[in-house]
Structure 1
Amino acid sequence: MKNFALIGAAGYIAPRHMRAIKDLGHHLSVAYDINDSVGIIDSISPESEFFTEFERFYEYAQSLKRVSDKKLDYVAICSPNYLHHAHIATGLRLGCDVICEKPLVPTPALMDELALLEQETGQRVFNILQLRHHDAILKLRDQVLAAPKDKKFDVELTYITSRGKWYMESWKGDARKSFGVATNIGVHFYDMLHFIFGKLQRNVVHYRGEAKAAGYLEYERARVRWFLSIDANDLPVEVKGKKSTYRNIDISGQQLEFSEGFTDLHTTSYQEILAGRGYGLEDARHCIETVDVIRTASIAQGQGSEVHPFVANLR
């Protein structure tokens, strides 16, 4: 049985981490969040210590080192994006391996910093890249690998997940903290594309705003035009008023359907990490490099089949 700490316990994704820890037979020793809306802990791990002040959390975590069977083994991080680097560093310096949500950090330079911290502490950083464990994604990857080596697939990725006015008032709406909408809601898609289609060869941005972004990515095995948005006005006519989310991934005329099968992917991710098969810094580097360019590149006009059809409505 391993002992875990959890940073960011009041976050949306935190319960999936708590359940993964419990379902795999491990112990959530202590949790921390500046917010105290963490009643979910009662149904998962009611005996866990909880702190709303980081200094008290850190001191308690340090004190556990003195008791061999209570010493922390892992720190799980579900805090806002801009705090990931500092919280990962904290976990490593506590003598723990770290499991962190996406995005690990905003830039490749900070990835290099984490690599140095791994060397200094002898500990590891693992990223939750749960789509790599999804059956539909794995089957598609096998199909791509089995296709002729010179074949490039034409992919259209559309993801619209409507968010209310609260979003822009929260840290997620502050690009200094979330690193922008493409990073916040899209980083797992860019990892998925790399996982399936190989190395990225081109990265062009056609639109970038507070609530949406669009562009073109070319991989070894695919040409991808993409559109991401949190604006309900972008929903297709046939969806408006019926659903708040629209997700469509078209691969050379075939739809990738992966709406189901998400329930246990965090638990699977934890299982793989604990078995020594987790995804580390270098596995996550590719999607971090991708979103770094999307945030900083000059906007290109784009033309023809490289431009997502929804972009025309923005110009």
Structure 2
Amino acid sequence: MSKDFALIGAAGYIAPRHMKAIKETGNYLIASVDKNDSVGIIDSYFPQSSFFTEFERFDRHIDKLRREGRPISYVSICTPNYLHDAHIRFGLRNAADVICEKPLVLNPWNIDALETIEKESGKKINNILQLRLHPSLVALKKKVDKEKSKTFDVDLTYITSRGSWYYTSWKGEQSKSGGIATNIGIHFFDMLHWIFGSVKKNSVHVRTHDRASGVLELNKANVRWFLSINSETLPKDVKKKGQATYRSITIEGKEIEFSGGFTDLHTRSYESILEGNGFGLEEARSSIEIAHDIRHAEPMGLVGDYHPYAKSPLSNHPFDKY
């Protein structure tokens, strides 16, 4: 049977992927909300969907549907990171299962509180962890699982250029986004934990407003990682091609190709959730703990076996003074 969905954060970058997933799984977006009204993309999927710019009116509408015997089955959440916790609670209070973008929450103890509310509601909180569904990474996990005693040497590099607008938006405020490690790294940390096992040691070499770098010692891997939103840190050959993003994972010096295969991962995530196989609170916990610990660690500087990109010089951006 088709399910009725509500969407919080309809004007966000990731929201169209959720609309597409709802459509492609044969379900309906009944209502959505966002304080910004640039949501014409809804017409491509659910033109008859009710839309609100005030959360209070959206809340009243969802409550009215429930009282009329037409409750929402799922609430999908695409809002800024710091609002996820409150919006998850909203979904559970309205007797709906929840599908939330990563990071599920910013702090590990938030998961404990949600676990209590989830049990009280009888509903489930699902986190979008789409890299766990990527064919290349699924194959890599199977390969690693066969190695019972090997410790892999892994380098993770992810640079996605952002302009000055970033620092004006909520993403530039660590209290709202969780900083670089959470905002652009959370899905990679989840993937690394999922493939290579639990954390033995989490060291941070560099952490500024626009980059972070360190080493994760996992059960089956030593991972040197580097994350950046500064285009100055891009490799020279990438800059020459005019590209703004660079993503690389090497294992034992060999590149793992996973640049493609992303287009339908949200739909596949929704399919799994609708079948009762979504990733819940406990699956989300480790990556949130990793990012939280990075955020609160004292950077040790360029000592030990640091990622080579950690040496990248700061630019002349005014934020480099802070």
Q: TM-score, normalised by structure 1?
A: 0.97
- Distance in 2 (alpha carbons) for counterparts of 1:178 and 1:286: 18
* Aligned-partner SS, 2:120: helix
- Distance in 2 (alpha carbons) for counterparts of 1:102 and 1:31: 19
Structure 1 residue 300, shift from structure 2 partner: 1.7
1:220-259 alignment runs, 5 A limit: 220-242=219-241, 243-259=243-259
Q: Which residue of 1 aligns with 2:119?
A: 119
1:14-33 alignment runs, 5 A limit: 14-33=15-34
Q: Which residue of 2 aligns with 1:151?
A: 150
Q: Which residue of 1 aligns with 2:293?
A: 293
Q: Which runs of 5+ in 1 are unaligned?
A: none
Q: Which residue of 2 aligns with 1:38?
A: 39
Q: Which residue of 2 aligns with 1:161?
A: 160
- Distance in 2 (alpha carbons) for counterparts of 1:313 and 1:269: 36
1:6-155 alignment runs, 5 A limit: 6-68=7-69, 70-147=70-147, 149-155=148-154
Q: Which residue of 1 aligns with 2:318?
A: none
Q: Which runs of 4+ in 1 moved over 4 A?
A: none
Q: Check the 8 A contact 2:182/2:291 in 1, yes or no.
A: yes
- Distance in 2 (alpha carbons) for counterparts of 1:10 and 1:208: 30
Q: Check the 8 A contact 2:302/2:311 in 1, yes or no.
A: no
- Distance in 2 (alpha carbons) for counterparts of 1:248 and 1:183: 18
- Distance in 1 (alpha carbons) for counterparts of 2:186 and 2:240: 27
Structure 1 residue 57, shift from structure 2 partner: 0.2
* Aligned-partner SS, 1:299: coil
Identity of counterpart residues, as a percentage?
A: 56
* Aligned-partner SS, 1:191: helix
RMSD (Å), alpha carbons: 1.1
Structure 1 residue 314, shift from structure 2 partner: 4.1
- Distance in 2 (alpha carbons) for counterparts of 1:188 and 1:90: 24
Q: Which residue of 2 aligns with 1:277?
A: 277
Structure 1 residue 303, shift from structure 2 partner: 3.3
- Distance in 1 (alpha carbons) for counterparts of 2:226 and 2:216: 11
Structure 1 residue 241, shift from structure 2 partner: 3.7
* Aligned-partner SS, 1:303: coil
Structure 1 residue 67, shift from structure 2 partner: 3.2
* Aligned-partner SS, 2:259: coil
Q: Which residue of 2 aligns with 1:219?
A: 218
Encode CA deviations 1:155-181: one digit per residue, 9 max, x unaligned. 001110011111111111111211101
Q: TM-score, normalised by structure 2?
A: 0.95
State the AA in 1 paired with 2:262: F
Q: Which residue of 1 aligns with 2:319?
A: none
- Distance in 1 (alpha carbons) for counterparts of 2:112 and 2:79: 21
Q: Is 1:4 the equivalent of 2:31? A: no
- Distance in 2 (alpha carbons) for counterparts of 1:314 and 1:124: 45
- Distance in 1 (alpha carbons) for counterparts of 2:312 and 2:271: 44
Q: Which runs of 5+ in 2 are unaligned?
A: 315-322
- Distance in 2 (alpha carbons) for counterparts of 1:250 and 1:303: 21
- Distance in 2 (alpha carbons) for counterparts of 1:312 and 1:10: 37
- Distance in 1 (alpha carbons) for counterparts of 2:275 and 2:312: 48
* Aligned-partner SS, 1:214: strand
Encode CA deviations 1:26-49: one digit per residue, 9 max, x unaligned. 010000000000000001100100
Encode CA deviations 1:24-83: one digit per residue, 9 max, x unaligned. 100100000000000000011001000000000000000111333x31000000000010
Q: Check the 8 A contact 2:155/2:223 in 1, yes or no.
A: yes
- Distance in 2 (alpha carbons) for counterparts of 1:218 and 1:303: 16
- Distance in 2 (alpha carbons) for counterparts of 1:232 and 1:178: 20
State the AA in 2 paired with 1:131: L
- Distance in 2 (alpha carbons) for counterparts of 1:42 and 1:71: 23
- Distance in 1 (alpha carbons) for counterparts of 2:13 and 2:311: 33
Q: Which residue of 1 aligns with 2:200?
A: 201
1:168-179 alignment runs, 5 A limit: 168-179=167-178
State the AA in 2 paired with 1:14: A
